[in-house]
Amino acid sequence: MPDDDELPAAAGVWLVDLDGVVWLADRPIAGSAGAVSRLRDAGRRVVFATNNSAPTIDELLDRLSRAGIDAVADDLVTAAQAAASMLEAGSSALVCAEGGMLEALAARGVTVVTEGPADAVVVGWTRRFDFEMLATAATAVRMGARLIGTNEDPTHPTPDRLLPGSGALIAAVATAAQAAPEIAGKPHEPLVALLQRRAPDARLVVGDRPATDGLLARRLGVPFALVLSGVTAVGHGALEAVPDEEGIDLAAIVDRHLGP
Ligand SMILES: [Mg+2]
């Protein structure tokens, strides 16, 4: 571990995924808070990079706090922010997503409309997705709106089961509109560019999904540490991105770098 002998101030940033690494839905993953503390004590900055566009920044900070992790807004980079970064201030968007996406669009100066025409249709994770929303979104795309998806994750891990992810919703709109979506979140360019601005000294990506976290690491040119506490099971087969290291959870990865 070449970085670990350096002075703490030069120890760089760990990019840590949230769902499947820090928590499963509302249940914190054991040891994750202690692992983040140990990283910080050793001089690493931890930036949480999530494809979940549903919670607002305050809701994410509150969930982190309940999981035992103190954080500030600057410690979070979200697919909602990445999606908003694709739109110009003063443009309009029809939104199939939750509060986190609306917050990011408002911060960007994008006006939200409830039917087309619009400059963009933005689709993120939401439990409120029905036929009417699908029809309205597809119609707006057919009228000329760009189709932007926060991410392509097919599933959303919870303690009990895998729920449909945003990828399932964006696929429905893309199919109905016969349009190819632009994707904002991990591992795509808008979130990569955001991370390069917000956390230029990244040293490692820790995540549970090789197709997003692993490919993000490749695009940032840093190693990928796969954890088996989320969507990738122990005894998994071939993966979309071969991890540089693998551990049962975040605590195990931190143990390997800092010693148990
Ligand atoms: Mg994850």
With 80 as the cut, is the pLDDT of residue 36 above it?
yes
Over residues 168-209, the pLDDT tens digits come to: 999 999 999 999 999 999 999 999 999 999 999 999 999 999
How far is ligand 1, taken at its centre, from the CA of residue 32, in Å?
Answer: 13
How far is ligand 1, taken at its centre, from the CA of residue 17, in Å?
Answer: 5
**What per-residue confidence (pLDDT) applies to 165?**
93
Mean pLDDT, all residues of the chain: 94
With 70 as the cut, is the pLDDT of residue 50 above it?
yes
Q: What is the mean pLDDT of residues 134-162?
A: 94
**What per-residue confidence (pLDDT) applies to 156?**
84
HSE of 9, CA atoms in CB hemisphere, 13 A = 0
Listed residue (188, 32, 184, 193) closest to 120, CA to CA: 184
**What per-residue confidence (pLDDT) applies to 6?**
43
How far is ligand 1, taken at its centre, from the CA of residue 66, in Å?
Answer: 18
4 pLDDT band (50/70/90 cuts)?
very low
Q: What's the per-residue H, E or C state across 153-192? A: CCEEECCCCEEECHHHHHHHHHHHHCCCCEECCCCCHHHH
**What per-residue confidence (pLDDT) applies to 218?**
97
Q: What is the mean pLDDT of residues 143-170?
A: 93
With 60 as the cut, is the pLDDT of residue 256 above it?
yes
**What per-residue confidence (pLDDT) applies to 25?**
86
**What per-residue confidence (pLDDT) applies to 78?**
98
- Evaluate if pTM is beyond 0.85: yes
1 pLDDT band (50/70/90 cuts)?
very low
**What per-residue confidence (pLDDT) applies to 138?**
98
How far is ligand 1, taken at its centre, from the CA of residue 23, in Å?
Answer: 9
How far is ligand 1, taken at its centre, from the CA of residue 91, in Å?
Answer: 31
In which residue are the tokens 């392509």 written?
152
Residues written for the chain: 260
Q: In 10 A of CB 147, how many CB atoms? A: 21
CB-based neighbours (< 5 A) of ligand 1, an ion: 17, 19-20, 208, 230
Cβ atoms of 108 and 89 within 8 Å: the answer is yes
CATH of 81-183 among 3.40.190.10, 3.40.50.1820, 3.40.50.1000, 3.30.70.20: 3.40.50.1000
Q: What is the mean pLDDT of residues 57-76?
A: 98
% of the chain residues with pLDDT over 70: 96
How far is ligand 1, taken at its centre, from the CA of residue 109, in Å?
Answer: 29
**What per-residue confidence (pLDDT) applies to 241?**
87
How far is ligand 1, taken at its centre, from the CA of residue 121, in Å?
Answer: 24
Domain with CATH 3.40.50.1000 in the chain: 4-79+187-258, 81-183
Q: Read out DSSP for 39-59?
A: HHHTT-EEEEEE---SS-HHH
- Nearby residues of 63 by Cβ (< 8 Å), 6 or more positions away: 23, 26, 55
Over residues 221-254, the pLDDT tens digits come to: 999 999 999 999 888 998 988 999 999 999 999 9
- Fold that domain 4-79+187-258 belongs to in CATH: Rossmann fold (3.40.50)
Over residues 210-219, the pLDDT tens digits come to: 999 999 999 9
How far is ligand 1, taken at its centre, from the CA of residue 19, in Å?
Answer: 4
With 90 as the cut, is the pLDDT of residue 87 above it?
yes
**What per-residue confidence (pLDDT) applies to 10?**
57
How far is ligand 1, taken at its centre, from the CA of residue 10, in Å?
Answer: 27
